[in-house]
Structure 1
Amino acid sequence: MDEQINVKIREIPKWHTWFFLSIQHLFAMFGATILVPLLTGLNPSVALISSGLGTLSYLFITRGKIPAYLGSSFAFIMPIIAAMTIGGPEGVMIGTFAAGMVYGIVALFMKTTGVEWLMNLLPPVVVGPVIMVIGLGLAGTAIDMAMNFDETTGQYVDPMLHLSVALFTLFIAIIASVFFRGFFNLIPILLGIVGGYILAAIIGFIDFTEIQAAPWLYIPSFVTPFVTFTPEWSWTILFIMAPIAVVTIAEHIGDQMVLSKVVGKNFLKDPGLHRSILGDGVATMIASFIGGPPNTTYGENIGVLAITRVFSVFVIGGAAILAILFGFIGKVEAIIASIPGAVMGGVSILLFGIIASSGLRMLIDNEVDIGKKRNLIITSVILVTGIGGAFIPVNEHLEITGMALATILGMILHQVLPQKQLGYGNGAMFRSLEDQSK
C-alpha cells in the first residue's frame, strides 16, 4: 500500500504544501465544529481552540502514530442543551469533564482487560438505536431554527421566509455532497452555510455592524474553573452527559477501524485502542477547562485522508494550530455569531438526519434482525424513551434523563433478555474488532 501513499504518517511535507494540506483539514472540520457551540450556546471561538488543543494532545498521547483530527461531538448536543438549562456553561463544563473521565476509565479497563466487555455492554442492537435517538431527538431543534421559533412569544415569526432560506441552505449542502467532487465534496456543510449566509444577507437578515466593530485579535470568553467560576458538582448533569461518552466510545471504535483500513496500519494494536480512547478523553477534559464542548475524532477528516492519501500527522498538527489561531481572530467569531438561525436550521436538517441514519446503518450493516422479539423490544424501548424525553427523578438534585436513560435501559434489556447473540446480528462489528486487535 505504501506506493499509493502521497505523504506518510511521520513525513513532513514542504512548507507551502504543508500549509494548504492543513487548511484543507481545517475546512473539513470547521462547519461541524462551530455548529455544535452555535446550537448549544457555547462560544464557537473557544470550540475551535479546544479542538486544536485536543488534537495536539491526541497526537501526543498516541505517540504521533494516528493521523486523526478531533472536533466538537454531535452526540453531546442534546445533553449540553439540557445541562445549560440546569447549570449554564459552568455546569456544562462539569459534565464535559465527567465525560472525559469516563473515556479515561474505559481506556484503563481496555489496557488491562481487553475490549470484549465493552462489546458485551454495547452490541449493535443497543448502539444503533441510541445513535438514532441522538439525531431524531434534535429534529425539533432543527425545525425551530429553520422556521424562526421565538421562545419569548412561543410563536414562529415569518416562518415561510425563514424556511425558504433554510431549504436553500439545505439544497446547496445536498448538491455539494452528491454532485461535487474532490475538495468541495468534503465540505458540503460549510458550502451550505456560505450559500445560505449570502442569501440571508441579500434578504436583509444580517446586521454587519457587529462584524465591522469586532477587533481582528481578541481573547475569547473562556469558561475556566477556579478562574471564571467556582465548580459546583451536579449529579443530574453528571447523569445527563457522562453516559453519552459510552456511546461515543463505540463510535470512536468504528472510526478507528475505518481509519486503520484507510491508512493500512493496525491502529487498534499499535499504538492501541486504549491510547486513542484516552486521547479523546484528555481532549474532552481540556475542553472542559476552557469552555469548549466534548471532542471526538472526525469522520470528515478521515474522508480527507482517504481521498488525498496524505497521512502525515504533521499536516493534522498544522490544522490544529490553525484552528487555535482562528479562535483568537475577533472577526471570525463575529461572522460566525451573525449566521442566522434559518441557515443553521437548514444544515441541521441534513446533519441530524445523517446521525439518525448512521444508527440505522449500524443495524443494517450488522444484519440485526428487528423481526426477532428481543431486538424489537430493545430498539422500541430505546427509541421511545430517548426521543420522548423520559426521565427518572432520583431526588431534588438528581434526575436521569432521556438519552442516558435510554442507553441504560438498552444495556439492561440486552443483558436480561434471552438469546443475547441475536443482539450482535452477523457479528461483523465484534469480529472486525477482534481481528484488528490481534
Structure 2
Amino acid sequence: MSSLFTWKEVDPAPGEPVGPGERLSWGKTVGLGAQHVVAMFGATFVFPLIMGLDANLAIFFSGVCTILFLLVCQNKVPSYLGTSASFVAGVAAIRSQGGDSADVTGAILVAGIVLAIVGVLVHLAGTGFLHRLLPPAVTGAVVMLIGFNLAPVVAATYWPQDQWVALLTSAFMVAAAVLMPGFWSRIAVFLALIFGYLLSWICDVLFGQITSVLPTGPDAVAHDRVSWAGVEAADWIGFPSGKLADGVSVVHGPSFSLTFILLVLPGVIALIAENTGHVKAVAEMTGDNLDPYLGRAIGADGAATALASLFGGSPTTTYAENIGVMSATKVYSTAAYYVAAVVAILLGLCPKFGAIVNATPGGVLGGITVVLYGMIGLVGAKIWVENGVDFGKPVNMVGLAAGIIAGIGGVTLTITDDFSLSGIALGTLLVLVYYHLVDRGRGVEQGQVSKVL
C-alpha cells in the first residue's frame, strides 16, 4: 500500500506531461489540487440541491469517494468523483410519487450495488457482453430520455420562482460555457451560480420581495430571493446535520421500494457509458493502456455511490470537468487528486459553507437547470453522432422510438394495483427490449462502447 503513495517528483519543461505516478513539487501539486476542486465544485453541489439532498454531505463524500476510487484503481486512473446527474430524473420521479429522501438514497444505493457488480463482471469477463447489451444506439437513447424527462421539473418547480433571474442566469451560463477561454468555460456552472446569486441580491435591494410559489408549499407567498438566516445560525466546523426540506435528517439510513428502485436503475446505463468514456479519454491523454482498469473504474464508482447513499449522500461519477483540467495542464498526477479530495472533505465539514449553498435562490437553480438538463439529453445525441449510429436503418429508428417517447412523455404501464412502470423505467425497458428484439447482432457493428466526452 505504501508504494501507492509514492510519486516520482519531476520538473518538466513547459508542455511536457506529468504521468499518474509522477508529481510536481508539493507546493505546485497543492495548487493543482485546488484547481480540481474549483472545476468539480459547481456541479457537485448543484445536483444535490436539485435532488433535495445536502450539499455539504455531497462535497464531503465526493472527497471520500475519490480516495476510494483511486485506491481501487491502484492510482492508474486519475479521476475525481463528483455528484452524478444521471439519477436526477429518477429522483424527481420518486418525489413526484410521494417518496422522501430516504426512499431516494435507498433506490440509489441499490443502483450503486448493481453498477459495482457490473464492474466486477467487466473486470473478470471483459467488455464483450457490455458492448452487446449496450451498443451506442441504446446508450444514447437512454441518456437522452433521462435528460429530457427532466423538462417538467424546470417548468413546474424552479423557473416559476423567479423567471427573470432564471432567464438571465441561463443566458450567462450559455455565454460563459461557450465564449470564456479555457478553464473558465469549464466552471461555467459555478460562475453562473455566483452571477445568479448576486443578481438575486441586487433585485432584492432594487425591487423588494418577490411573490412566487416555493417548493415547500402550494400557494404563492412574498419572500426575499436571498435569505441568509440559516447561514448566520450555522457553525463554522462540524459534521453535516439538521433536516432536509422534506423533514428527513441530513445524515440518514436508506429506505427501499421496488417501484422507486426501478425508477433510478436506468441511471446505471448512463454511468457505465460515462465511466467508459472517461477512462478511454484519460488513456488517450496519458498514452497508457487502461483497458485492464475499466472494470475497476466502473466497480469503484458503483461502490462509491452505494457508500455515499448509505449515509444519505449523493451518487457519484467521474467528472469530465476534471479531465478537462488535465487536458489543459497535461498534469495527470494522482497526487493532485488526493489533495483535491482532502480539500473537499474539509469543505464538507464546514456547515456554514453548506448553509450558503442551500440558500441558493430558486430562480438561479431554474436558470442553471434549464441548461444542464438539456445538455444531459443532448449527450445522448452526441453518443449517436460520435459512434456513427445510422438512423437510415430501421433497427435504430423504429427500435428506439417507442422507448424514447414513453420515457420523455411519462407513459405508465400498470401491472398490478400496487406496481407500475412509468417514465424513465418503462422507456429504458422498451428501448432495451425492442432494440434487441429486432437487432439480432447488427447494432454492434456501429461501434463499441459509447463515448460521453
What's the TM-score, normalizing by structure 1? 0.88
* Distance of 1:44 and 1:143 partners within structure 2: 23
Query: More displaced, 412-421 or 131-140?
Result: 412-421
Which stretches of structure 1, 4 residues or more, deviate above 4 A after TM superposition?
A: 227-232
Q: Does 1:46 align with 2:57?
A: yes
Give CA-to-partner distance per residue, 1:320-364, whole Å, 9 cap, x none. 111111111122111111111111111112211111111111111
Indicate which of 211, 215, 222 corresponds to 2:235: 215
Q: Is the 8 A contact 1:136 1:387 kept in 2?
A: yes
Change (3 A) 1:380 1:306: same
Which consecutive residues of structure 2, in runs of 5 or more, have no partner in the other structure? 1-11, 205-224
C-alpha deviation, 1:243, in angstroms:
3.6
User: What amino acid sits opposite 1:109 in the alignment?
Assistant: L
SS of residue paired to 2:317: strand
Matches of 2:141 and 2:282, distance apart in 1: 24
- How many residues are aligned here? 414
8 Å contact from structure 2 (residues 399, 438) kept in 1: no
Q: Following superposition of structure 1 onto structure 2, how do residues 264-413 of structure 1 map, counting pairs within 5 Å?
A: 264-269=287-292, 272-413=293-434
1:99 aligns with 2:122: no
Deviation at 1:389, TM superposition (A): 1.3
**Counterpart in the other structure of 1:237:** 260
The equivalent of 1:248 in structure 2 is: 271
Measure how far apart 1:176 and its partner are. 1.8
Comparing 298-307 and 174-183, the one that deviates more:
174-183
**Cα distance between partner residues in 1 of 2:49 and 2:89:** 13
Pair 1:117 & 2:138 matched? no
One-letter code aligned to 2:146:
I
Tell me which amino acid in the other structure corresponds to 1:214: A
Contact persistence 1:125–1:375 (CA under 8 A): yes
The Cα shift of 1:209 comes to 2.8
2:254 & 2:174 partners in 1: Cα distance?
43
Separation in structure 2 between the aligned mates of residue 320 and residue 60 of structure 1, nearest angstrom: 12
Q: TM-score, normalised by structure 2?
A: 0.85
Inter-partner Cα distance in structure 2 for 1:250 and 1:222: 35
> Which of 72, 75, 85 is matched with 1:61 structurally?
72
CA shift, 1:429, in A, is 4.1
Cα offsets for 1:3-47 (capped at 9, x unmatched): 744432122432332222111111111111111111111111111
Instruction: Tell me, in whole angstroms, the C-alpha distance in 1 between the residues paired with 2:241 and 2:403.
Output: 37
Distance in 1, Cα, partners of 2:27 & 2:105:
38
Output the CA distance in 1 between the equivalents of 2:54 and 2:254: 19
In structure 2, C-alpha distance between the alignment counterparts of 1:312 and 1:171, rounded to whole Å: 35
Matched position secondary structure for 2:227: coil
- One of 37, 40, 45 as aligned partner of 1:29: 40
Gaps of 5+ in 1: 150-161, 433-438
Residues 1:9 and 1:229: Cα distance change in structure 2 (over 3 Å): closer
Q: Which amino acid counterpart does residue 373 of structure 2 have in structure 1?
A: F
Q: Residues 228 and 20 from structure 1, CA distance in 2 versus in 1: closer, same or farther, beyond 3 angstroms? A: closer
Structure 2 CA distance for aligned equivalents of residues 116 and 426 of structure 1: 14
CA contact (8 A) 1:125 1:363 kept: yes
More helix by share: 1
CA–CA distance in structure 1, aligned partners of residues 23 and 415 of structure 2: 54
User: What is aligned with 1:133?
Assistant: 145
Among all aligned residue pairs of Structure 1 and Structure 2, give the percentage whose two residues are the same amino acid: 33
Quick one: distance in 2 between partners of 1:214 and 1:305? Answer: 35
* Cα distance change on mapping 1:36 and 1:229 into 2, 3 Å: closer
Which residue matches 1:184? 184
- SS for the counterpart of 1:250 is helix
Structure 2 residue identity aligned to 1:408: L
Counterpart position of 2:7 = none
Whether 1:197 aligns to 2:218 is no
Could you tell me how far 1:112 is from its partner in structure 2? Answer: 2.7
Say if 1:58 and 1:222 are closer, same or farther in 2 by CA, change over 3 A. farther
Distance 2:379 2:44 in 1: 19
